[in-house]
């Protein structure tokens, strides 16, 4: 199996669940402690061995491009003040020249359409899709766990987790087949089913490894749930012609597109930091009932 080297970040959304903070600032740039959400996603992909980072952006997202560029004035100021440690860290955070690519999604037509916009940058290979809203804490990066599994299974792999029955209408849901370790055979996928008819509680969350054949189905631009072009529908058409598995990853997922999930991500990230954890825990203790 070829190693997975390309990852798509669909970041053209408006972030309406996080208004008014996202009126001007893209939701992907909201900070979790001292780094924007999107930087955690790129670092996870880089740690998994990905080398080409493809951002599907929209209007008002130019700040994302600036963030992953070299801030000349800032770097010069840090150097002049001999703040070598900060300068080294900031320099290391900038991807190498040619690693970052951008394409535009001019209309909000759904996740499937956003991924389709990156088709000419993928060519004919397995690629990753990372939804930035999902911040995952784990000893081994979630995407690295998935790539290791996909090298054994071939085909397509999606991250799954069990959710409450009443929450199945928020996710793409897997109809499971045989299970082996962390792998779950995917017999079918249903986008946001009513809890009464959901085939399981296995929800697809924001990590995917997909064969480029998915673009053959996204090319149809067929509208699905919510009046949008759904990635779930295109993935469903791959089942049967290629191996397709869900992967029950090790780690804790935080939904940073939700206000409570975002706050929890900040707390969990701060507590896990060696430089902040103890002092921050003492701060939290002051707010206990």
- Rounded to whole angstroms, the Cα distance separating 282 from 33 reads 16
pLDDT at 234 (0 to 100) = 92
pLDDT in tens, 262-280: 999 999 999 999 999 999 9
Question: Distance between CA atoms of 214 and 13, rounded to whole angstroms?
Answer: 21
Q: 6-285: CATH homologous superfamily? A: Spore Coat Polysaccharide Biosynthesis Protein SpsA; Chain A (3.90.550.10)
The Cβ of residue 208 has, within 10 Å, a number of other Cβ atoms equal to 24
Q: Delimit the domains of the chain by residue range.
A: 6-285
Model confidence at 162, pLDDT cuts 50, 70, 90, reads very high
pLDDT of 126 reads 94
Question: For position 214, what pLDDT does the model report?
Answer: 95
Q: What is the pLDDT of residues 167-217, one digit of tens each?
A: 999 999 999 999 999 999 999 998 889 999 999 999 999 999 999 999 999
Q: What's the CA gap between 31 and 182, in Å, rounded?
A: 32
Confidence of residue 4 (pLDDT cuts 50, 70, 90): very high
Beta bridge partners of 179: 184
Q: Strand (E) positions, the chain?
A: 6-10, 31-32, 35-36, 52-57, 100-104, 127-130, 134-137, 156-162, 172-180, 183-191, 202-210, 244-248, 252-255
pLDDT digits over 46-98, tens only?
Answer: 999 999 999 999 988 899 998 888 878 888 888 888 888 888 887 888 888 88
State pLDDT tens for residues 236-253: 999 989 999 999 999 999
pLDDT at res. 288: 84
Judge if the upstream peptide bond of residue 20 is cis by omega within 30 degrees of 0: yes
């Amino acid at each position: 199996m070829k190693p997975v080297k390309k990852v798509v970040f669909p970041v053209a959304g408006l972030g309406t669940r996080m208004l008014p903070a996202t009126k001007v600032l893209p939701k992907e740039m909201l900070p979790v402690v001292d780094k924007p959400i999107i930087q955690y996603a790129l670092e996870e992909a880089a740690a998994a061995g990905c080398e080409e980072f493809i951002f599907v952006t929209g209007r008002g997202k130019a700040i994302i491009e600036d963030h992953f560029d070299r801030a000349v004035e800032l770097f010069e100021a840090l150097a002049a003040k001999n703040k070598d440690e900060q300068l080294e860290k900031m320099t290391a955070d900038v991807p190498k020249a040619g690693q970052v690519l951008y394409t535009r999604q001019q209309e909000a037509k759904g996740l499937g359409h956003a991924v389709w916009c990156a088709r000419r940058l993928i060519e004919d290979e397995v690629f990753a899709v990372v939804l930035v809203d999902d911040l995952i804490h784990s000893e081994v990066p979630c995407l690295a766990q998935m790539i290791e599994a996909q090298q054994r299974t071939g085909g397509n792999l999606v991250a799954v987790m069990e959710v409450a029955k009443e929450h199945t209408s928020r996710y793409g849901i897997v109809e499971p087949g045989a299970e082996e370790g962390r792998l779950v055979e995917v017999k079918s996928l249903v986008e946001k089913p009513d809890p009464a008819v959901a085939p399981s509680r296995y929800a697809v969350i924001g990590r995917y490894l997909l064969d480029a054949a998915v673009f053959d189905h996204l090319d149809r631009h067929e509208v699905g749930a919510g009046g949008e072009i759904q990635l779930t529908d295109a993935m469903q058409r791959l089942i049967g012609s290629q191996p397709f598995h869900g992967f029950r990853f090790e780690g804790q997922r935080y939904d940073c597109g939700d206000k409570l999930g975002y706050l929890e991500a900040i707390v969990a990230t701060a507590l896990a930091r060696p430089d902040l954890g103890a002092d921050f825990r003492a701060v939290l203790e002051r707010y206990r009932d």
